[in-house]
Amino acid sequence: MSISIKNLTYIYDQGSPFETMALEDVNLEIEKGEFVGLIGHTGSGKSTLIQHMNGLIKPTMGQIIVNGFNITEDKVKLSEIRKKVGLVFQYPEYQLFEETVYKDIAFGPTNLGLDKEEIDIRVRNAMDIVSLDFEEYKEKSPFELSGGQKRRAAIAGVLAMEPEVLILDEPTAGLDPRGRDEILSQIKRLHDEKKITVILVSHSMEDIAKLVDRIIVMHNGKIELTGPKEEVFKHSKRLEEIGLGLPQILYLVNALRAKGIPIDENVIAFDAIKSEILKLVGGKHA
Amino acid sequence: MIDIKSVGYTYETTEYKSKAIDMIDLNIKKGEFVAIIGHNGSGKSTLAKLINGILLPTHGTILVAGLDTKDSELIWEIRKTAGMVFQNPDNQIVATVVEEDVAFGPENLGLPQETIRTRVDESLKQVGMTEYMKKPPHLLSGGQKQRVAIAGILAMKPECIVLDEPTAMLDPVGRNEVMETIERLNKEEGITIVHITHFMEEVIKADRVVVIENGRIIIQGTPKEVFKEVDKLQDMGLDVPQVTLMAHSLRKEGIDVSDEILTVEEMVEELCRLV
Amino acid sequence: MLRDITIGQYYPADSFIHHLDARFKIIVSFLFIISLFMINDFYQYIPVVIFVMLIVKISKVPFKYILKGLKPIMLILIFAFGINIFLTEGEVIFSFWILDITKEGLYQAFFMMMRLIFLITGTSLLTLTTSPIMLTDGLENLLNPFKKIGLPAHELAMMMTIALRFIPTLLKETDKIMKAQMARGADFESGNIFKRAKSLIPLLVPLFISAFRRADELAMAMEARCYRGGENRTRLKTLRYTKKDIIGLIFIGLYIASIIGVKIYL
C-alpha cells in the first residue's frame, strides 16, 4: 500500500462565517507503483486533497498513511513527509528563484540535509529525467529558459528529492502540444522505470486516458467515482453533469454503440479502438 | 478588415536579434472568425500584438479598417477598432469592481457618462455577466474573468477582437464559457474574431485556420482543408482532433474514409456508411 | 494568517455611511484623527467611543469584522504598550528584575493603546465603507487643486487603484509560492531571525518576478484599452455631494462640539 487515506475531512475557516467543507469523509487507497489520475472541476476539492498528502494542510479529521508512515500525527517531522511525497504545483516555473538551474534543483535536496555528493548525483539524475542536458543547462539562469524548459527545471526540483510518491497538479497547463507531450512522456518513463507511485491531476481526458491505470473523480469535496479508467469512462453522463467529459474518441465509440454498431465498451486506447473499427469495416473492404 | 502586407518583425535588444515574424501576408475579412495555431515561439503572439498596434512592424504595413498602425495619430482609433484579450485573466483587469473595469476603456475614450453607463450594461449583458456587475474580480472564476475582459473590450465597440490564447489558463468549464461567448459575438454581432489557441475543439469552429511556424504562414484554409494535412501538423508538434486522426489512420489502412472529418457526428455518419 | 488582514478592505453594504460622498468621508477621517490627538484625558474618550460605536452601528459592518482588523496590529499594540508601561518615570507600584511599572506608565500605556485602537478603527471604517474606486476618486478629487504645483493626482489615484486590485491576487500568490517551496523542504517558521530572513529569499524572489511580469502585462492590457493617462478621461461614476452629506456634516459638527465640550467643562 502506498497511500491510505481514512475518513479525511477538512473544513476551511472553521468557526467563522466563511466555514466551508472542502473535503468530506474521503477514503482512498493507492497501491504502490500505481499511476492514478485525479480529476474534478475547479473547486471540487482535488487541490485540497493533494496538499493534505504532502502535509501542507493538516486535516480537520482523519488520517493519511504513506508507505506505513502516518503523516498526520502531530510529532511527524515535515521533512520526513517531503522525502516520501513530492508535490509539483500548477505552473511550477513560478517558484524558480536561484541564480542557476543547478542551484534551484539542489534547493530541495539541500533542505533535506543531504551531503554535496549525494545532491550532485540527484541533480544530475533529475535533469536527466526531464531531458535537460546537465552540462548545457547547469550554469544557466532558470529565467533564461523557454517556457517548457522552465517547467521541466521546476519539476526536476521536486524529482531531486526522490519521493516515493509523485503528485503533479496539471503539469501541462498552458503549454503547447509539443511541450505537453514532452513532459507527459517523461513522467510516463519515470513511472515505468523507477516504479514510483504517480498521481496526475489533469483536465485533459485525452491525457488521463493515455497515461493512468485508475481514475479518481472528485466532486464537492467527496470521491464521486473511482476505478479502472475503462470503468470510470462508462459513466459519461455523470462525468458531464459534474463539468467533466470523455476523450473525444470515446464519444465516437459511444455514438457508434448507440447506433447499434458493436464496439467493445471496455476498449479505450486509440489503437485498440482503431483495430475494433477495422474489424467492423475491414470485413467489407479488406 | 485587417490587411497584413508583407509584414516582418524583429525583436532587437543590445544582446540579440530575433526574427519573430518573417514575411506574413494575411487578409482578414469583416465578420470572419480566424483561428491562429502554431507552437509557442512561432510568432503568433507577436502577430496579435502587431494587429493591435502594441508592436509596430519592422517591415511592411498593417491596415486595420484602413488605418495604418504605423501612423501614431491613429493608434487610439486602431486600438478601439481592434480590441485585444490576453492569456492571463488576472493581469488585464484594472479595477476592483467588475463594472468599473468594463468602464475603463470607454472612460479612456472620454465618452459622456450616460454613454459609458449604457455601454457597460450592454457589454456585461452580451457576455452574460450582468449579475456580477458589483462583484470584485478576484472572487470570479477564470472563465468569468475572461468574460469580463471581453466585456471591457466590447464596451469600446470594436469591429474586431484579437484573443491571444484566452483559454490557455482555464479549466474545461471556463473554456466553454469563453468559446460560447466568442462564437456568439461573431455570429450575432458580426464582430471579426482572431483567436489564437492550442485547443483543436476551438479551432474547428473557425471559418479559417492559419498555421504559423517560424514566423511564416505554413498552411491556411478552412478547418477541413487544414486538418487534411494531418502528417504535416503532427510533424510541427501540433494537435489534431482525435476523430480526424482516427479517420486519417484508417485511410492509411486502406479504408475509404473521408479526409474532411472534424467532429464525432461526421465520423459516425461516415462509419455507418461503411459498416 | 494572510486571510485576517482587513485593513484597506471594503465591506459592501447598503448603509447611510456607505452612501456618503467619499471626499466627505476622507475629510471626516482627517478631522477624526486630529480630534484623537486633541484628547489628553481618559474621560475625553467618551464622545469618541459614542461616535465610533454609532458609525459602526449605522454602517452595518459587523463589529467582529472590525475587531478582526485589529489582529494583525496586535504586535504593534503590545509593543507600544510595553514601551509606555516600562519607560515612563513616576510612582513605582510594581517592580521586577530591572523593570519598574509606574502608575504614570500604566496610565500612559492604556491611554496610548486606546488612541491607537481608535486610530485604526476610525481609518478602517473609512476603507470598510468606501469602495476603493470611490476612495481613490475622492483622493484624486481632493488632490486636484495641488496639480498646479506639480502633484500627479491622477497617477497617484491610479496607482492606488491598481495596488488595491492586486492585493488579493498577490496574497493568494504568496500563499501558493510559500506552499510550493515548503513542498521542496523550505522552512519559514524555525530558526533565529537571520535564518528566517534568509529563508524568505525563495519566497520573495519569485514573488517580485511575478509582480513585475504582472505589471508588464497589465501595462500592455491598459494600453490596448486606450489608456493614456488622466487627460480627457471621463468617469462612469462621478462624485456628487447629496443631502446625506449635509446630515453627515451636522453629525460631525456635533461630534467636534462634544469633544470641545468635554475638554472645557469636564
pLDDT on residue C6: 56
B129 touches B139 (CB < 8 A): no
Top pLDDT among C40 and B216 is at: B216
Residue B193: helix, strand or coil by DSSP?
A: strand
Mean of pLDDT values over C2-11: 62
In the sheet that holds A61-66, the strands lie side by side as A20-30, A3-12, A61-66, A69-70
Percent of chain B surpassing pLDDT 90: 78
Distance between CA atoms of residues B162 and B166, nearest Å:
10
Q: Do C168 and B136 touch (CB under 8 A)?
A: yes
Give the chains touching B; criterion: ≥3 Cβ pairs < 8 Å.
Answer: A, C
Single-letter amino acid code for the residue at A169: D
Q: Residue A157's closest CA among A99, A95, A212, A202?
A: A95
DSSP state of B175: H
**Residue length, chain C?**
266
- Please indicate, yes or no, whether residues C16 and C101 belong to a single structural domain of this protein: yes
* Closest CB from C179, C186, C187 relative to A51: C179
Q: Is the pLDDT of residue A3 over 70?
A: yes
Handedness of CA A106, A109, A115, A119 (dihedral sign): negative
Q: Hey, what's the cell of B143?
A: 472563465
Mean of pLDDT values over B78-87: 94
Return the minimum-mean-pLDDT range out of A86-100, A241-255, B247-261, C99-113: C99-113
- Please indicate, yes or no, whether residues C66 and C194 belong to a single structural domain of this protein: no
Q: Hey, what's the cell of C64?
A: 467582529
Helices A248-258/B264-274 angle, 10° precision: 40
CATH number at residue B80: 3.40.50.300
Mean of pLDDT values over C122-138: 84
Q: Are strands A222-228 and A214-219 parallel, antiparallel or unpaired?
A: antiparallel
Q: Is C228 near chain B, with CB under 8 Å? A: yes
Mean of pLDDT values over A7-12: 91
Q: Residue A107's closest CA among A84, A86, A132?
A: A86
Q: Do B268 and A177 touch (CB under 8 A)?
A: no
Q: Is the pLDDT of residue A54 over 80?
A: yes
Q: Which domain holds residue B21?
A: 2-223
Q: Is C233 near chain B, with CB under 8 Å? A: yes
- Please indicate, yes or no, whether residues C122 and C252 belong to a single structural domain of this protein: yes
Q: Is A31 near chain B, with CB under 8 Å? A: no
Q: Do C165 and B152 touch (CB under 8 A)?
A: no
pLDDT on residue B179: 95
Residue B123: helix, strand or coil by DSSP?
A: helix
Return the minimum-mean-pLDDT range out of A122-126, B216-220, B242-246, C234-238: C234-238
- Please indicate, yes or no, whether residues C162 and C173 belong to a single structural domain of this protein: yes
On chain C, the residues whose CB falls within 8 A of the CB of A106 are none
On chain C, the residues whose CB falls within 8 A of the CB of A87 are 180, 183
A146 touches B11 (CB < 8 A): no
B120 touches B102 (CB < 8 A): yes
- Please indicate, yes or no, whether residues C176 and C247 belong to a single structural domain of this protein: no
Residue C160: helix, strand or coil by DSSP?
A: helix
pLDDT on residue C202: 93
Q: Hey, what's the cell of C148?
A: 498646479
Residue B20: helix, strand or coil by DSSP?
A: strand
Helices A270-285/A248-258 angle, 10° precision: 40
Q: How many CB atoms lie within 10 A of CB C228?
A: 13
- Please indicate, yes or no, whether residues C201 and C78 belong to a single structural domain of this protein: no
ipTM: 0.90
b or e along A114-134 (b: 16 or more beta carbons within 10 Å of the residue's beta carbon)? beeeebeebbebbbebbebee
pLDDT on residue A101: 96
pLDDT on residue C236: 85
Residues 6+ positions from B191 with CB-CB distance below 8 Å: B31, B158, B159, B160, B161, B185
Number of folded domains that form chain B: 1
* Closest CB from C179, C183, C202 relative to A97: C202
Residue A286: band (very low, low, confident or very high) from pLDDT cuts 50, 70, 90: very low
Among all chains, which residue has been given the C-alpha cell 465516437? Answer: A252
Residue C142 lies in a domain: no
* Closest CB from B171, B241, B271 relative to A277: B271
Residue C1: band (very low, low, confident or very high) from pLDDT cuts 50, 70, 90: very low
- Please indicate, yes or no, whether residues C9 and C91 belong to a single structural domain of this protein: yes
Residues 6+ positions from A153 with CB-CB distance below 8 Å: A93, A96, A101, A104, A105, A127, A130, A132, A137, A142, A145
Residue C262 lies in a domain: yes
pLDDT on residue C137: 84
Q: Do C187 and A78 touch (CB under 8 A)?
A: yes
Number of folded domains that form chain C: 2
Residue C63 lies in a domain: yes
Q: pTM for this one?
A: 0.86
Residue C59: helix, strand or coil by DSSP?
A: helix
- Please indicate, yes or no, whether residues C169 and C91 belong to a single structural domain of this protein: no
In angstroms, the separation between the Cα of residue A226 and the nearest Cα of chain B is 20
Residue A65: helix, strand or coil by DSSP?
A: strand
Backbone angles phi, psi at A53, to 5 degrees: -65, -20
Residue C203 lies in a domain: yes
Distance between CA atoms of residues A175 and A158, nearest Å:
19
- Please indicate, yes or no, whether residues C99 and C126 belong to a single structural domain of this protein: yes
Residue C60 lies in a domain: yes
Residue C79 lies in a domain: yes
* Type and span of the H or E element at B216: strand B216-221
Q: Is the pLDDT of residue A284 over 80?
A: no
Residue B236 lies in a domain: no
Return the minimum-mean-pLDDT range out of B230-234, C121-125, C258-262: C258-262
Residue C149 lies in a domain: no
Distance between CA atoms of residues B242 and B178, nearest Å:
22
Structure confidence by residue, pLDDT tens digits, B259-274: 899 999 999 998 888 8
pLDDT on residue A15: 66
Residue B263 lies in a domain: no
Top pLDDT among C230 and C200 is at: C200
Among all chains, which residue has been given the C-alpha cell 522552512? Answer: C187
Q: Which domain holds residue C190?
A: 154-235
Residue B137 lies in a domain: yes
Structure confidence by residue, pLDDT tens digits, A238-261: 999 998 989 999 999 999 999 888
* Closest CB from B99, B113, B153 relative to C235: B113
